[in-house]
Amino acid sequence: MARGRRRHRTRPARRGRWYAAAAAALATAATVLITYGAWTPSPASGTARTADRPAAAAEPPAASATPSPGHRTSPAPTPSATASASASRPAAPRATTAREPATAPHRQAPAAVPAGRRLITVVNRTAQPVWAVVTGTAAYPAGHRLAPGQTFSLTVAGDWGGRVWGRTGCTGSAAGPCASGDCTSVCTGPNPPTTLGEFTFDAYAGMDFYDVSMVDGANLPMYINISHTTTPDPVGDTGCYRGTCTTEIDCPEAMRSYSGGRETGCKPPCAAFGGDTYCCRGAWAGRDHCVPAKWPVDYTRVFKRAAPYAYSYAFDDAATMACKGACHYRVTFGTT
């Protein structure tokens, strides 16, 4: 343990054995309290703060002062310990109630997750019911119904790969036809236009790769946050990315999709207009030739303006994001 200046080591005046014994007892008690973190000396005294201890003696900060259901916490730390806690410390066996910065309240995963499993949380921030589909889980293919404002979580294997999307306008239950994102039997993906969250866990060198894709058009706004990792989250908790926040798509009339007279999504350029150019076929095929900037109209901007982090066409690889370690994910349907 780091030591401060020895301001109190000067021998006191001789005042009898009872005084010496009392002073020794007080010194011993202070040493014990400092050692076990029960008391943190003021910086003004020149002694070390809690954050100056070796990492092995420090406890990791939790996401917020309010513990998740079933999450055990130790007694609240002192104000100085809270102020010096760092969000970047690795997890330790015991959780504390130390606060993280207010800008990242999602960094701590709720509840315990079994070893070798990953947590996926889906949030509905739209004004309509959404049937959230997570492939390879009980929420597939029908989906888990989420009323506006509802959230649900599930775990998947550490090497899981799959998709997350939302179905809307379902008749009674997701077993029936839905206005968008339909997939009533086992399938590789929903009918377009549908916004997709795509994931490949432990893909390379301990890293996950994930993205939001609007290559097949979009039926819902979506953004993804990461936690349980040292990787900085590129997207803010409210869906903002590099100064631009998630919004509804301003879809041109020619690209709008309808079901029963109701607008249900925005088609991709290929589905809306056809042709080799917008479908990247023939002379426009491949990465070197499928260049939206060379199209008569760059309709990928329709999606990029609403979700700047999302894939807007097949070769928009800058939209792929990476997360190091056993990351957990939160998928939000909704805007900023």
Q: Are 304 and 313 in contact (CB under 8 A)?
A: no
Using alpha carbons, select from 73, 70, 74 the residue that is nearest to residue 113.
70
Domain extent, residue 57, equals: 17-84
pLDDT bin (cut points 50, 70, 90) of residue 83 is very low
**Better pLDDT: 15 or 56:** 15
Write the CATH number for 300: 2.60.110.10
Residue 160 lies in a domain: yes
Distance CA 146, CA 174 (A): 11
Is 252 in contact with 273 (CB distance < 8 Å)? Answer: no
The answer on pLDDT for 265 being more than 80 is yes
Q: Which residue has the higher pLDDT, 64 or 151?
A: 151
Task: Please tell me whether residues 131 and 49 are part of one structural domain.
Answer: no
* Maximum average pLDDT range among 46-50, 136-140, 192-196, 218-222: 218-222
* Structural domain total, the chain: 2
CB-count burial class (<10 Å; 0-12, 13-18, 19+) for 274: exposed
Least reliable range by pLDDT among 14-28, 162-176, 235-249? 14-28
Same structural domain for residues 328 and 268?
Answer: yes
The arithmetic mean of pLDDT across residues 46-55, rounded, is 34
Both 76 and 214 in one domain: the answer is no
For residue 89, being part of any structural domain is answered with no
Phi then psi for 200, rounded to 5 degrees? -135, 110
- Residue 146 has, within 13 A of its CA and on its CB side, a CA count of 28
Residue 26, φ and ψ in degrees, nearest 5: -65, -40
Tokens representing 92 are 């330790």
In this predicted structure, the answer to whether residue 67 has a pLDDT above a threshold of 90 is no
Is-above-0.75 flag for pTM?
no
Same domain (yes/no): 78, 113: no
Residue 48 lies in a domain: yes
- Count the helix, strand and coil residues of the chain and give each as a percent rounded to the nearest 5: 20, 25, 60
Q: Which residue has the higher pLDDT, 5 or 280?
A: 280
Q: Is residue 99 part of a domain?
A: no
How many residues in the chain?
Answer: 336
pLDDT band, residue 98 (cuts 50/70/90): very low
**Continuous H helices in 189-291:** 269-273, 275-279
Task: Report percent pLDDT > 90 for the chain.
Answer: 58
Pair (172, 311) in one structural domain: yes
Which has more confidence, 171 or 239? Answer: 239
Per mean pLDDT, which range of 105-114, 191-200, 314-323 is the poorest?
Answer: 105-114
pLDDT digits (tens, 9 = 90+) for 136-174: 999 988 889 999 999 999 999 999 999 999 999 988 666
Task: With a cut of 70, say whether residue 134 has pLDDT above it.
Answer: yes
Q: Is residue 173 assigned to a domain?
A: yes
> Which tokens is 178 given?
């839905």
CA distance 69 to 62: 13
What is the percent of the chain where pLDDT is above 70? 63
At 274 the pLDDT is 96
**Residue 94: is its pLDDT beyond 80?**
no
Contact (CB, 8 A) for 318 and 109: no
pLDDT at 61 over 50: no
pLDDT, one tens digit per residue, over 266-322 is 999 999 999 999 999 999 999 999 999 999 999 999 999 999 999 999 999 999 999
